[in-house]
Structure formats: C-alpha cells, structure tokens
Structure 1
Amino acid sequence: MTQPVDQPGNRPVGQTGGQLTGPRAAAGFNATDIAWLQLMIAMDERALPLLRLGGERGHDPAVRRLAGRMLVAHQAELERLRAVLHRTGLPAANVHAGHDMPGMTTAVQLAALESASGPAFDRILNARLREHVAQTAHLARSARLSGADPATKDLAASTERGRAADLLVLGGKPRG
C-alpha cells in the first residue's frame, strides 16, 4: 500500500489501521480527515474573494445578502477548520496552493466575475457558487463517512448540512 506523503518536505507519514502515525500527526486522525481539512481550507479561502465581490456588487439585493451570509459562514467555518487542523499537529501551510480543482474558484473565474455587471454578474456568481457548494458538500459527505476523528466528522456533517441548504437557495442539485 502506498503511504500518504506529508507536505511539505514529502516525508512519508506511517499508517496503521487507517490512523496516521508519526511525530507530525496527532492520534485519532486518518488520512481522510487530514486531506479533507487541508482541501476545505484551501477551497474556502479561494471562495472568500468571490463572496466578498458578490456582497459588494451583486445586482439583485437578494444576491448581495446571500453572498454576505455565505461570506460570514465561510469565515466561521475556516476558523473551525484551522482549529481542527492545528490539533493534528500538521503545519497550517496550504498544500493546495496553485491547484485548480473542481469547485475551487480560479483566478480566471474571479476575473470574469470582476468584469461582469448587472444580471450577468449575478448569473456568473450563482454558477461559481453552485460549483463550489456542490463540490464542498460532496467532500464533506466523504469526510463524514470515511473520517476517523469525531470532531472532524462533526464538522464535516455540519458543513454538509450547510451546503445542502445553500444549494437549495442557489438552485443546485446535491451530488450523491
């Protein structure tokens, strides 16, 4: 079995019975917990500029309110994610810096939104938010089902519920 690689430095982290071992990871966390925490932090950080822009420039007042509410929720979630990642003993460095993955706001997408206005702005924002929310809901479900640390699984369940509610507002469909 291939061992997970701890970033930075690409030092292997031992794995026994699904639990990470070694000096850099606290007991009780498995690879799914760690991967989910690191990925969600990166994805939420990338969503913040999108949400700020939506709150400032949304054409429809309801769009501005939704973006503002989601911004506050994402900021609070980031604090919780970072606190749990801190408990793992792993560094807070963004191991996904420079990655563009499904649901992760890219520089090109943000630039397109910045250049839009009126109803077109709202459509683009809604599409980007649906992608982000659907993907992070899917990731949260996976962490809830396959994680080991109870606090991480509780946070994943909370994230999954919040994203499901956001998807209803955004008109998106949850992934199975």
Structure 2
Amino acid sequence: MSTNRSIVRRLALTATVGVASLGLLAACGGQERPAGDQEHSTATHGTTSSSAPAATASAQPSAAFNDADVAFAQMMIPHHEQAVEMAELAGTRAADPEVKGLAAKIEAAQAPEIATMTGWLTAWGEATAPGGGHGGHGMPGMMTEEDMAKLQRAEGATFDRLFAELMIAHHKGAIEMAETEQTQGANPEAVQLAKNIEAAQQAEVEQMEKLLERL
C-alpha cells in the first residue's frame, strides 16, 4: 500500500508540473518575435544574444520586435536615403546659407540612422528593403523621379525654394511613419528612434516653412 501511495503522489506531481508548463507557454505567447529567434537570426553580425550591452544596442537591438518594427526600418531606410540624396545636391546648387546648413544637418543626422536601421534588420534576419528601393511604394512623402530630376536641374534661389517645398513634404511623410511606429512597434530602440525622428523633422519642417516665407 505504501508503494501504491508513492506512485500516486508521483503521478499527481507530474500532472501538476505539466499544467504549470502549459500555463507558462500560454503566457509567453503573442505577436512579438524575440531577437534571438532562429528564424530571424541567420544573417546576424556576430551574436544575437538577448543580453547585448547597451553600447551596441543601437546596432543590434536585444529586445523582442514585431512586424511593425521591421516595416518601419524597411521603409525608413530608402526614405532617409532619398533625403540624403536631396541634401547632397544643396552643396553645389543651393544659394541660401540657411538652406545649405539645413541640408548638411539633415545628411549628418540621417546617414547614421540608415546604418543603425540596416544593422537592426540584419540582426533580425530581415531584408533591408523588399520591393522598395527608391520606388517609394507605400512610403509617404517620397519624391517621384520627375521631382528629383527637377531638383537636380535647379540652381540658386530656384533650387532653394524647391528644396524646401519638397523636403517639407518628405519630412511630413517620415513623421507619419514615425508616428505609426510609436503606436504599433514593440522594440524600444526602434520606438525611441521614431520619437527622435518625429521631433527632429517636425522642428525642421517649421524651420523650412519660415524659410519659404523669407525666400
């Protein structure tokens, strides 16, 4: 009888542990994808450990991420690339010192952000810009090829005004995407970058609107 009671106790304990394990798995469910997931870590540079030091977090975010984070980076990279391309034109075509200064500021801010977001996508095992490139599909504020050609042909005061007009629309598109990331994203570093982009580009929009009044 003692042996039977011992067996019963062991079976009861096993059943309790099994139920607890199922509860834990259910609690861990959800739509977020861990950065160390095998499915999303095949193209990483080095480790994808969830305990990555803060100093390298911007390049290899350690927290979980979701589809909104991926879409944000995939769309913002070509969006930033076009802004940098526009800003580079100002170095030889702009006449107004404020336009040149603003363009240099945009280039200096957005080029490192491109590198950061590219690093995230690599760490997550995601493509950098599927179906995107400079086509502008699904990216608000992107210039058309005609707009870019027109800006490339402009010089002096004409360039200054056109640059401000096009960059205002471009910035507003980036702000829209940044707002979406803040409400739908899961990765804290991506959400923080979205906040930074919104704040910086909103200030630049206001600056360019005042600049247009002066030009």
Q: How does the TM-score come out when normalised to structure 1?
A: 0.79
Give the RMSD, CA atoms, in angstroms. 2.1
| Counterpart Cα distance in 2 of 1:133 and 1:64 | 17
Q: Distance in 2 between matches of 1:45 and 1:124?
A: 18
* 1:118 maps to 2:131: no
Name the CA distance, whole Å, in 2 between partners of 1:72 and 1:149: 24
Aligned residue in 1 for 2:40: 25
Report the AA paired with residue 108 of structure 2: V
Deviations 1:133-161 (A, max 9, x none): 11101111110121001111111111111
Q: CA deviation at 1:23?
A: 4.3
Identity of aligned residues (%): 29
4+ residue runs over 6 A deviation? none
CA contact (8 A) 2:84 2:106 kept: no
Report the counterpart of residue 173 of structure 2 in structure 1.
135
Deviations 1:32-77 (A, max 9, x none): 1110000000111122211100232112111111111111111121
| Unpaired runs of at least 5, structure 2 | 1-28, 42-62, 211-215
Q: Which one has the largest radius of gyration?
A: 2
Displacement of 1:92? 3.0
2:77 aligned to which of 17, 28, 41 = 41
Q: SS of 2:167's equivalent? A: helix
Q: State the alpha-carbon separation in 1 of the partners of residues 146 and 133 from structure 2.
A: 15
Structure 1: distance between partners of 2:157 and 2:115: 33
Task: Quote the Cα distance in structure 1 between the aligned partners of 2:204 and 2:120.
Answer: 23
- Structure 2: how far apart are the matches of 1:30 and 1:90? 11
* Structure 1: unaligned runs, 5 residues or longer: 1-15
Residue correspondences, number: 157
1:54 alignment counterpart:
90
* Residue equivalent to 2:25: none
User: What is residue 198 of structure 2 aligned with on the other side?
Assistant: 160
Q: CA deviation at 1:20?
A: 4.3
What CA distance in whole angstroms lies between the structure 2 residues aligned with 1:94 and 1:71?
A: 24
Partner letter of residue 31 of structure 2?
G
The equivalent of 1:5 in structure 2 is none
Structure having the higher helix fraction is 2
The 3-state SS of whatever aligns with 1:148 is coil
Contact 1:140 1:159 in 2 (8 A): yes
Q: CA deviation at 1:85?
A: 1.9
1:94 deviates by 4.8
Q: Please give the secondary structure, in 2, of the residue aligned with 1:66.
A: helix
Match of 1:6 in 2: none
Q: Give, as a single letter, the amino acid of the residue that structure 2 aligns with 1:51.
A: A
Distance 1:161 1:18 in 2: 28
> Residues 59, 98 of structure 1: CA spacing in aligned structure 2 closer, same or farther, 3 A cutoff?
closer
